[in-house]
């Protein structure tokens, strides 16, 4: 248990724990905000009360997730200062301003309009309410943009130079549009959508299996399939494009993702490792199941590699990641889930085209519905795995090729970090359990289909209710 006395390791564990826990919540609220914009728009357009009930029902899950997201996001921001002071000082000029933009442009917008979106149904005209819903969704997705800009810059720093250990920006546009930025933003945007779609579709499938509110949930189930038709294949493409960039800009990460120890020269073929037991000390895989000549097809869709693939052994041990097994399996988990979800989409689409998803027939598609219920948590697992590949694979660097993680930690007594880490671990595990409990309670209770359309949709000029309490 040597790490218990190592501040750097403890601070890393604390940040990883905070980030992994935090990611669970905005991934849903960001994607779901778009769903809420869609159903409220459909309600305003068609005046079909069912859409209004959808907006109200899913907003309950939304706000539960939003609250935990805000609560768990705050410690991330402050940890840059408390646990990573040298890092904050070195890159604050750029990294700090980007976090400032995220707060002022995105988070403030989302939080500022959330009150109206949740509680304002009877207080503002429908158009203003819809505007609030759009602003909440716009803010959430703008957050994705800025956070991914900041993280991408850690992966592929650009737009300035490190002078005496401090980053000085010379070109903001270049720094913001750093090589990873655009692909990463799109990959994450699709990830939030895909995760939310399968949560919405999975919960809807559960109701249909339970034969509760079948007509109501067939609607959201079909919306989920329809959007998944576009999102799941696009995500596979984005995943591939991201991997190509990793190969180009972060060869150590790609080698870790494939547990590839030896360099493969250009013009040759190589096997693609499907399952293996990487051994970091011996610099080889103890055991391996391979697809013969597969690597060329995985990376370039042809048998011979046009460029060399650098192996881990080509780098000094101090310059490459060491948790190879974690990176290797996280990558396989993420991509496996991506293909599995696309498969579910394909089967659902075929059944739809064959006319088997009509309200009166859908409940008979038991296996399809069960697959959707099973798929509900998979998006989260894929997102977390992807972030593990991205950030553990970046090691030993905090800013790739420039600043080493070991030099970036605050000099704190290990006991102090261990204490806060333990407190976070206890708090977050309890929050996870309690949130799942309340989420399942909301789901078991189901939508309130008796809810009348809001007051404001019938009377445009809103009046203030000034009755006293009791």
Closest contact distance (angstroms) between CB of 103 and another protein is 4
Should residue 109 be labelled a site residue for another protein when binding is judged by CB under 8 A? yes
- Which residues, numbered 157-216, are part of the site for another protein (CB under 8 A)? 168-170, 172
- Is the peptide bond between 98 and the residue preceding it cis, with omega within 30 degrees of 0? no
| 378-392 vs 181-209: helix crossing angle, rounded to 10 | 160
- Please say which residue, 378 or 421, places its beta carbon nearer to another protein: 421
- Please say which residue, 43 or 62, places its beta carbon nearer to another protein: 62
- Please say which residue, 25 or 397, places its beta carbon nearer to another protein: 25
- Which residues, numbered 357-386, are part of the site for another protein (CB under 8 A)? none
Give the chain's radius of gyration (CA, Å).
Answer: 24
DSSP states of 211-250: TSSHHHHHHHHHHHHHHHHHHHHHHHHHHHHHHHHHHHH-
Closest contact distance (angstroms) between CB of 340 and another protein is 31
x/- mask, another protein, residues 117-136, rule CB under 8 A, reads -xxx--xx----------x-
Report the distance separating Cα 173 and Cα 153, nearest Å: 12
Should residue 72 be labelled a site residue for another protein when binding is judged by CB under 8 A? yes
Report the distance separating Cα 129 and Cα 39, nearest Å: 13
Containing H/E element for 287?
A: strand 284-291
- Please say which residue, 114 or 357, places its beta carbon nearer to another protein: 114
Q: Which of 323, 359, 374, 442 binds another protein (CB under 8 A)?
A: 442
Report the distance separating Cα 160 and Cα 7, nearest Å: 30
Q: Which stretch binds another protein (CB under 8 A): 78-86, 217-225, 335-343, 361-369?
A: 78-86
Q: Contacts by 345-352 with C-beta closer than 8 Å and gap 24+?
A: 345/225, 345/228, 345/229, 345/232, 347/371, 348/225, 348/228, 348/372, 349/225, 349/229, 352/222, 352/225
φ/ψ of 169, rounded to 5, equals -80, 135
Residue 450, Cβ density class (10 Å: 0-12 exposed, 13-18 middle, ≥19 buried): exposed
Number of residues that bind another protein (CB under 8 A): 78
- Please say which residue, 291 or 423, places its beta carbon nearer to another protein: 423
Candidates 318, 250, 262, 313; CA nearest to 288 is 262
Q: Which stretch binds another protein (CB under 8 A): 29-37, 62-70, 219-227, 309-317?
A: 62-70
Should residue 457 be labelled a site residue for another protein when binding is judged by CB under 8 A? no
Should residue 452 be labelled a site residue for another protein when binding is judged by CB under 8 A? no
- Please say which residue, 4 or 432, places its beta carbon nearer to another protein: 432
- Which residues, numbered 23-42, are part of the site for another protein (CB under 8 A)? none
Closest contact distance (angstroms) between CB of 117 and another protein is 10
Q: Which stretch binds another protein (CB under 8 A): 61-69, 186-194, 200-208, 393-401?
A: 61-69
Q: Which of 27, 28, 34, 116 binds another protein (CB under 8 A)?
A: 116
Should residue 467 be labelled a site residue for another protein when binding is judged by CB under 8 A? yes
Q: Which of 28, 32, 42, 68 binds another protein (CB under 8 A)?
A: 68
Q: How many CA atoms lie less than 13 Å away from 468 in the CB half-sphere?
A: 1
């Amino acid at each position: 248990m040597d790490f218990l006395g190592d501040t750097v390791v403890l601070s890393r564990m604390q940040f990883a724990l905070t980030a992994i826990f935090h990611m669970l919540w905005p991934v849903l609220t960001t994607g779901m905000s778009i769903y809420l914009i869609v159903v409220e728009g459909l309600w305003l357009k068609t005046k079909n009360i069912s859409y209004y009930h959808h907006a109200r029902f899913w907003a309950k899950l939304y706000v539960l997730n939003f609250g935990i997201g805000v609560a768990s996001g705050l410690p991330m921001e402050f940890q840059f200062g408390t646990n990573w002071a040298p890092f904050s000082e070195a890159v604050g000029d750029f990294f700090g301003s980007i976090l400032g933009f995220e707060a002022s442009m995105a988070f403030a917008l989302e939080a500022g309009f959330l009150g109206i979106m949740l509680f304002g149904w009877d207080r503002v005209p429908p158009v203003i309410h819809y505007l609030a819903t759009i602003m909440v969704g716009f803010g959430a997705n703008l957050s994705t943009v800025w956070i991914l800009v900041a993280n991408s810059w850690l992966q592929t720093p650009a737009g300035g130079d490190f002078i005496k250990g401090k980053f000085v920006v010379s070109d903001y546009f270049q720094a913001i549009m750093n090589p990873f930025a655009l692909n990463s933003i799109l990959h994450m945007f699709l990830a939030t959508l895909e995760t939310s779609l399968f949560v919405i579709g999975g919960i809807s499938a559960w109701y249909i299996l339970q034969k509760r509110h079948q007509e109501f949930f067939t609607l959201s189930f079909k919306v989920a399939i329809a959007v998944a038709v576009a999102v799941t294949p696009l995500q596979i493409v984005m995943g591939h494009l991201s991997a190509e960039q990793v190969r180009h800009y972060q060869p150590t990460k790609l080698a870790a993702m494939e547990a590839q120890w030896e360099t493969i020269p250009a013009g040759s073929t190589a096997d693609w490792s499907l399952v293996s037991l990487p051994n970091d000390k011996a610099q080889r895989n103890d055991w391996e199941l391979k697809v013969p000549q597969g690597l060329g097809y995985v990376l370039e869709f042809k048998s011979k590699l046009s460029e060399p693939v650098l192996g881990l052994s080509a780098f000094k041990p101090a310059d490459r990641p060491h948790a190879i097994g974690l990176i290797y399996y996280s990558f396989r988990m993420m991509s496996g889930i991506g293909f599995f979800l696309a498969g579910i989409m394909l089967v659902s689409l075929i059944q739809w085209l064959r006319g088997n998803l009509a309200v009166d027939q859908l409940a008979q598609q038991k296996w399809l519905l069960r697959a959707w219920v099973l798929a509900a948590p998979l998006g989260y697992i894929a997102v977390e795995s992807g972030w593990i590949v991205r950030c553990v694979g970046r090691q030993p660097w905090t800013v790739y090729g420039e600043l080493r993680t070991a030099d970036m930690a605050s000099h704190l007594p290990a006991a102090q970090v261990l204490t806060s880490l333990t407190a976070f671990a206890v708090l977050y595990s309890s929050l996870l359990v309690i949130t799942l409990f309340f989420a399942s309670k909301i789901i078991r209770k189901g939508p309130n289909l008796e809810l009348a359309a809001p007051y404001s949709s019938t009377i445009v000029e809103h009046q203030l209710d000034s009755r006293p309490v009791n």
